[in-house]
Amino acid sequence: MLQKTDRIEAWRQTMEDVREEIAQVIVGQSETVEQMLWCVFAGGHALLEGIPGLGKTMLVRSAADALDLPFSRIQFTPDLMPSDITGTDMIHFGNAGGVSSEFRAGPLFGSIVLADEINRATPKTQSALLEAMQEKTVTIGGTTHRLPEPFFVLATQNPLENEGTYPLPEAQLDRFLLKLDVDYPSPDELKEIIRRTTASSQRQAVKRADAAALLEIQRGAREVLVSEDVLDYAVRLLMMTHPDQGDSPESVKRYVRFGSGPRGLQAMIAVSKVRAIVKGRMHVSTGDLVAAAKPAMRHRLLLNFEGQAEGVSPDTLVDDILARLEPSR
C-alpha cells in the first residue's frame, strides 16, 4: 500500500505526463491546457470560448488521446434535434408481425464529448445536455440510460458571432465547472503552428494515463483538506460577487446584477483540490483559490445593462474582489 506522500507524487506525475503530452501537440495555450486538466481531474465540464481556428477541437481531441478515453464530437447546428445527440429507440418489425425496440446510443455516449459551437443549437437541444451533465444519465422513452464513466462535456463557443446563435441560459452555464478563455497566439506561437500544421506529418497525442488512473485521482482529490480559514476565504470571495454585500468592490455594485451561486464555491474548491495535488500538497491554500477564481466565476457573474453596455470583463471584477481580499490572505 502506497504511503500518502507516494500517492500524491504518483498522481502529480500522472497529471504532469498528460499535460506534457498535450503540449507536444498544442502550441502555447499553457494556461488553458492546465485549467482544462484541473477541470477534468476534478470530474467537471468545461466551456472553452475563443474565435475559430485557435485549436479548441484539437485540444480536446489531444486530451482524449492522452487519457486514452473514447472521444465523441457533436457539431451543434440550429437544425440539430435532441435525439441526434442522446440517441433514440429504433422499432423493428419481425416477419411474424412481432414488434421490438432497440436503443441506439447517440454521440453523447462517449467519455469525452466535444460539443462544438454549442451556442448554435436551439434551447431545446441545449437543454438535452442538462440531465447528461448533471445526472450523467439520459432518459429516452421513459427508460434511463447511464452514461459511461468517466464522462465529460467540453463545449466550445465563438464569442464574435451573434447571428444564428442562442446564448446559453444561466442554468446551463452553471453546469460548467469552469469557463476557459482561449487566447490568440503570439507571433512566435503562430510560426510554430504553421510549421507543425503544414509539415508532411502531424504529431498526435499518445496514451499517458487511462480511465482507472483518472478516476483514482478524482477520488484522491476529494481527500485533500480544506482548513476553516481557507474555506472562510472562499466564502468571502463568493459573497463579494453579489452587489448587495456591503464589502463588495464598487465595480461589482455598479456592474453586476447577480453574483455567483453555490456551484461557484463548489467549483473553486473542487479545482483548488486538484491544483493542490499538482503542487504536491494534500491541503488547499488561498493561492489555489486565487488561481481557480477567474475560470470558476467568469461565467457565473451576470452583468447588468450598464456592465454589458460598457463591455466590462468579469475577470476584471474578480481581480477587484481579489484585491479587496488581499489584506486578509
All cell numbers assigned to 207: 496514451
Residues 6+ apart with CB under 8 A from 82: 124, 125, 127, 128
- The domain locations on the chain are 1-80+111-219, 224-329
Q: What is the pLDDT of residue 162?
A: 61
Q: What is the pLDDT of residue 192?
A: 83
Residues 6+ apart with CB under 8 A from 250: none
Q: What is the pLDDT of residue 234?
A: 95
pTM: 0.88
Q: Do the domains at 1-80+111-219 and 224-329 have one common CATH topology?
A: no
Domain 224-329 is found in CATH 1.10.8.80: yes
pLDDT in tens, the chain (329 residues): 456 778 889 999 999 999 999 988 888 888 889 999 999 999 999 999 887 777 788 888 999 999 999 999 998 888 888 888 887 777 767 666 667 677 777 788 888 999 888 888 888 888 778 778 888 888 777 778 888 888 999 998 877 666 556 778 787 888 899 999 888 888 888 888 888 877 777 778 888 989 999 999 999 999 999 999 999 999 999 999 999 988 899 999 999 999 999 999 999 999 999 999 999 999 999 999 999 999 999 999 999 999 999 989 999 999 999 998 864 44
Domain 1-80+111-219 homologous superfamily, CATH: P-loop containing nucleotide triphosphate hydrolases (3.40.50.300)
